[in-house]
Amino acid sequence: MASFAPILMLQEVRGLESRAMHWKTRLAIYHNYFYIRFANPQTMTFFIIILGIVIFYLIVKTDKQAPSNPPTSNINSSHRTGRQTEAESPRYMTTQDVRAQRAKMASWSDLEKTVNKPTVFQDETIIEVSPDPVRISYENYYADFESRSVYTPAYDADEYKLGKKYKEKLALTKQEVGWLNKFWNDANVFNSIEGCETEIVKLYIASIKKINSFLKKEASTLSREIEAIAQKSLEFQKSQTTYWTDYDVRNHKESVEKEAYQVIYKRCESVVRDQWNHKRKIQAEFYPYSPEIKALFDERLAVVIDDAVKKCSPHVGEPDDLTEIALNETGTGRWKIYFEAITKNQLADENETISQLYRLGELNSKNPHVEHVFYEASKFLATRNKAESLRFYLHYIWHDLNSKQVDSKQLNKTIQKRLFSKQQEFEQFQSIVDELVNTKDLQKALTGVSSIYAPKRRSIAIDISAVQLVEKQHAGTVSILSQYLRDENELVSDNLESPTDDELIIVVDSASPPAESNVEESAVNLSAVQRQCLQLFESEEFSVEFDKIESFAKQNGLFKNQLIDGINDQCMELLDDVLIEENEEGFEVNVNYYKKIFAA
């Protein structure tokens, strides 16, 4: 057997050599094949594409088959050996391991349900009383709920303009509505009153008709003249800038048109203000973009507008009572004009004059200084009707007690002598005033005035028999006693008939302390000098002459306009308007704005 070993080894070596040659030959064949294939670029590109598709397919298939195992506890995982980890693989799991794994998965599922499900507390003692669901009905809120359209109405640019407002009220035509809708009305204290605005609108429409009648003689109309002025203004503006769009052109023409029509409206408002004795003036000038256009407007239309408004102004009516009350509330000194007219043109019938004075007081019922109307009326009637003079003075006391600041003005010495010829009359009137202050019953006090001047008579019953008996007993002393009584009666008569030379003071003892103007607490940061200036206006019924303001300003080292402008600048942010305005006689404070700034 040992001799065959080399032979076997030789055969085995030759077999290995033959196998090696075989693989070498095959590798050479494969090498030549792949060399030839890859030497062709088209073949190589095709091979790379196929290989990419196969790899992409394998990746997608692997992702879809990835198992979604539930989370497992990591407790004691670090203490397991590699052999134990391999044993947990499904290939090596026993029946007990499978059961344990399923129990774990069930516990995790129950835990997820417990976490996600809200806690419900059940208590058998609680009785469910929830009613059945009820459908909400909106019929009580909207009667036409079912038929109401879901679409909102289209936007109307003229919704809040004057034409829309007065179309039905004044039965305006379409053309008249268009004239009023040419501009937005700038509201102020005067035209915010409905009666004033209505009268301005009437005068505005009548004036435009009159303007067109004037221009018709020249074969033109107001709209054509305004259009020509707008075109001139547009040409001037185009020369100033380099680029204009269609929107800019249209907007510029509309602005000039609006400005022109608003000038007419403001001039009509100025006329109504003058005729209704409203002191504050407004600016009614045309303000274009250049002086040349303003000159063209003044030359072509300003004179025509003024003539038309002037010719239509006689048709302006008188304000009604509601409008008068509102005007007197804003213009606290307006009553003086009517009071002066009544006193100058007093009628032969004294009762008619008294009625006019009472009506003046009624029309100033909302005037914060209405008491001064009755005070001046009392002074005026002192020499004409003493009883009515005292009644007006009682009105003054009653309104003064209900005002912010109690003035307690006394009638002067001369008037008192005319009203009270006897001390008894004065004392009786003082008792009426005291009762008025305590009870605030004005009607009862007015009724009591009649008893002051009523003739006072005494009825004396004489016992004739007793007199005759006394005469017999004291015959000697009768003549002396008669002389004594006669002298005493004359002395008493002289004391009653002649009034005292001292001025009588009617005491108005109000139970409540007088209301003071709370000018120190304001909604605007004012300096001490500015507050003192406003106190001066309040003491002068919110209207102060130029000389007084100038004197006050000099005392505080300021100029008149510097002081007024400083106050208006401080109040501009709150009011969006000026507080103090200039009129023909001096300066005037807007009462409504004053109330808004200072707390009552």
CATH of the domain at 544: 1.10.10
Q: Does 395 lie in the same domain as 304?
A: no
At 399 the pLDDT is 92
- Residue 145 resides in a domain: no
Quote the CA–CA distance of 178 and 168 in Å, as a whole number: 14
- Residue 195 · residue 323 · CB < 8 Å: yes
- Residue 439 resides in a domain: yes
- Residue 364 resides in a domain: no
- Residue 87 resides in a domain: no
**Domain stops at, among 451, 469, 497:** 451
DSSP H helices, 440-527, are: 442-448, 464-473, 475-497
At 31 the pLDDT is 56
At 119 the pLDDT is 54
- Residue 446 · residue 430 · CB < 8 Å: no
Q: Does 378 lie in the same domain as 310?
A: no
Q: Which residues of the chain have pLDDT under 50?
A: 1-4, 68-90, 491-501, 511-517, 519, 600
Q: Does 288 lie in the same domain as 182?
A: yes
Q: Does 301 lie in the same domain as 190?
A: yes
- Cα–Cα separations (whole angstroms), residue 222 to 231, 584, 598: 14, 33, 47
**Domain stops at, among 282, 315, 348:** 315
At 497 the pLDDT is 45
At 411 the pLDDT is 84
Instruction: For residue 64, list its beta bridge partners.
Output: none
Q: Does 194 lie in the same domain as 283?
A: yes
- Residue 214 resides in a domain: yes
Q: Does 300 lie in the same domain as 233?
A: yes
Structure tokens at 310: 């002037």
Q: Does 311 lie in the same domain as 179?
A: yes
Q: Does 226 lie in the same domain as 310?
A: yes
**Domain stops at, among 451, 471, 502:** 451
Q: Does 310 lie in the same domain as 376?
A: no
DSSP 8-state class, residue 69:
P
- Residue 577 resides in a domain: yes
Q: Does 535 lie in the same domain as 392?
A: no
Please give the backbone phi and psi of residue 169, each rounded to the nearest 5 degrees, phi first: -65, -40
- Residue 253 resides in a domain: yes
Domain membership of residue 585 as a residue range: 528-597
Q: How many domains does the chain have?
A: 3
- Residue 404 resides in a domain: yes
Q: Is the dihedral of CA 346, 348, 352, 354 positive or negative?
A: positive
- Cα–Cα separations (whole angstroms), residue 329 to 6, 190, 195, 595, 596: 145, 11, 14, 12, 14
In three-state secondary structure terms, 582 is: strand
- Residue 570 · residue 525 · CB < 8 Å: yes
Q: Does 412 lie in the same domain as 267?
A: no
Q: Does 278 lie in the same domain as 395?
A: no
